[in-house]
Amino acid sequence: MNFSKFFAGFILGSLIILAFQPFNYWFLTLLIPGLLYQLIKKESIKDTFFISYFFGFGLWAFGIFWIENSITVYGGASLILGSFLTLLLAAFLSLFQAISFTLFRLVTNQRENYEIFLLFPATWVLSEWLREFLFTGFPWLYIGYTAVDNPFLQGYIPVLGVFGIGFFIVLVSQIFFSFLGALKDLTKKKSLYLSSLILTIIFIGNQSLENINWTKTTEKISAIIIQPNIDIKEKWTQKGLKKIEKEIKIKITQNPIQNLSLPTILFWPEVTITSLIQKEQIDEFRNNIVNENKMLGMVMGTLSETKSEEINNSLVGLGNISGTYDKKFLVPFGEYIPFSGFFSLFFDFFDFNRPQIFPGKSHDIIGNNQIKISSAICYEIAYQNTFLSNSKETNVLFNASNDNWFGTGLGPHQHLQIARFRAAEHQKYLVRSTSTGISALINHRGQIIQKIETSTKETNLESFQEDLILKSGQTPYAGVGKTPFLFILVIIFFTSAILKLKRNEKFL
């Protein structure tokens, strides 16, 4: 067994985390996939499995270690136990890389250019897609998200989405090493010419696409993005509830809001109010806001109860906007425990006064005749269909979150990067309001206009006010979704498998 290559795989997986926020060395994604391919391309099936597994373990051990904060701070586990369980989760997730690239080795058929330019990139992206829904789903750290700061590929984001752009990133990495190999061996002129041609087409295409506005500006409103800076444990106490209710009243009645020149929306984070909100309370709140200023609206996170007495994590529109949106996808180790029967043996999660949350069924577009808000609560923004399902009707995106679960490590930064990608994917402004950061206003190109950093200690409420441009229309990706491209990738993979079977039959 080649232990040096196992270690090299682990180093590559660890280094690719630097391509994501907050490090943002996106150029590493143009090197690391190609280097991984070089490691496994001539290895046995067994060694390919272990090289890929250690690559995955490096990726997950460093990339999601922030989950330890949830397990120890809010789960009551010790630091040692929390670290062990986080690494155990990383060890499980590493199987996606190991199995996917082992299957890649199984279906390779000595058609080198097909393998380099199509099969390997397709395998990489298909492994990410499987992770989106298998075993409760974990759509995190997709390589495509790094493209939001990559000037050579940004133009493809609203056309291809995160899976399509991920394919292009791995393809470019493969082409780069193929180009270097062809320069060393001048007998491979075909690879040299093909690599040069594909790279040229990709980069010229990017420049052309960057100049296209897929959505159009309709009008402008004002947005006030609010970050309460209140810790989760305090938030779920009566003292915390009274504190936040007081902050809401102060914010609505403060002088700057009384002299609005534009329709204005206050954006509050996920579960701003921790008590169950009833219809009477909503009506009272709405009437109070309208009485203060008819141009003022508010989107606020709260809890709601269904007829079957299940508790939902919801957003409600108040003031001059209306609608209710319930959270569909819950946060692992934040709102539910994956494989809870196993993890409950080690610790009692949510050791504070917090109800059990269930996925909701009300998915309104929040707004009025002018403003159409497509919502995603916290982790939901990582699921592409959250915004795709109503992209025609909406003109602004909103992500209400509570990243306090994950401390001040990499998690909130990675979450923000996903939000930025969603804005670029739909070419619409995205508002992000969180309990303790990172809150931000993001433009239709995925660039941050203004933000509030993660709060490291108990501080007062923070907010900022900016113009919010409403954008109508759809990007090509929003129009067709991810399914057509994934279908193409499946065809690539199975074509290679069929060719391999035919080749084996020939030599039987």
Nearby residues of 476 by Cβ (< 8 Å), 6 or more positions away: 158, 159, 214
DSSP 173-239: HHHHHHHHHHHH-TT-HHHHHHHHHHHHHHHHHHHHHHT---SEEEEEEEEEEEE----HHHHTSHH
DSSP 414-463: HHHHHHHHHHHHHTS-EEEEESSS-EEEE-TTS-EEEEEPPP-S----EE
Q: Which pLDDT does position 190 carry in this prediction?
A: 72
Q: Which pLDDT does position 37 carry in this prediction?
A: 95
pLDDT averaged over 10-residue windows placed end to end, the chain, 508 residues = 88 97 94 95 92 97 88 77 89 95 86 84 95 84 96 95 96 88 68 81 92 93 91 76 77 63 89 72 63 78 78 87 87 61 54 67 88 92 90 93 83 95 97 93 96 79 92 94 93 87 59
**Torsion over CA: 268, 270, 274, 275 (sign):** positive
Evaluate whether the domain defined by 216-334+361-474 bears CATH number 3.50.40.10. Answer: no
DSSP 238-295: HHHHHHHHHHHHHHHHSHHHHT-SS-EEEE--TTSS-SBPPHHHHHHHHHHHHHH-TT
Question: What CA–CA distance (Å, rounded) separates 477 from 486?
Answer: 12
Name the CA radius of gyration of the chain, rounded: 24
Token output for 29: 């994604």
Q: Which pLDDT does position 508 carry in this prediction?
A: 40
Q: Which pLDDT does position 358 carry in this prediction?
A: 76
Question: What CA–CA distance (Å, rounded) separates 373 from 221?
Answer: 13
Question: What CA–CA distance (Å, rounded) separates 484 from 507?
Answer: 35
Residue type, 366: I
Question: What CA–CA distance (Å, rounded) separates 83 from 71?
Answer: 9
DSSP 27-56: GGGGTHHHHHHHHHTTS-HHHHHHHHHHHH
Q: Which pLDDT does position 247 carry in this prediction?
A: 79
**Sole residue written with tokens 């529109």:** 317
Write down the pTM of the prediction: 0.91
Token output for 460: 């007062």
Question: What CA–CA distance (Å, rounded) separates 115 from 170?
Answer: 12
Token output for 166: 């991920």
* Strand 396-401, strand 462-472: pairing: unpaired
DSSP category for residue 18: G
C-alpha distances out from residue 314 to 167, 225, 286, 301, 335, Å: 35, 18, 16, 6, 13
* Segments of the chain assigned to CATH 3.60.110.10: 216-334+361-474
Token output for 158: 């609203």
Q: Which pLDDT does position 282 carry in this prediction?
A: 64
DSSP 60-77: HHHHSTTHHHIIIIIT--
Q: Which pLDDT does position 291 carry in this prediction?
A: 63
Q: Which pLDDT does position 507 carry in this prediction?
A: 40
Find out whether 306 and 314 touch, Cβ atoms under 8 Å: no
| Residue 414, number of CB atoms within 10 A of its CB | 22
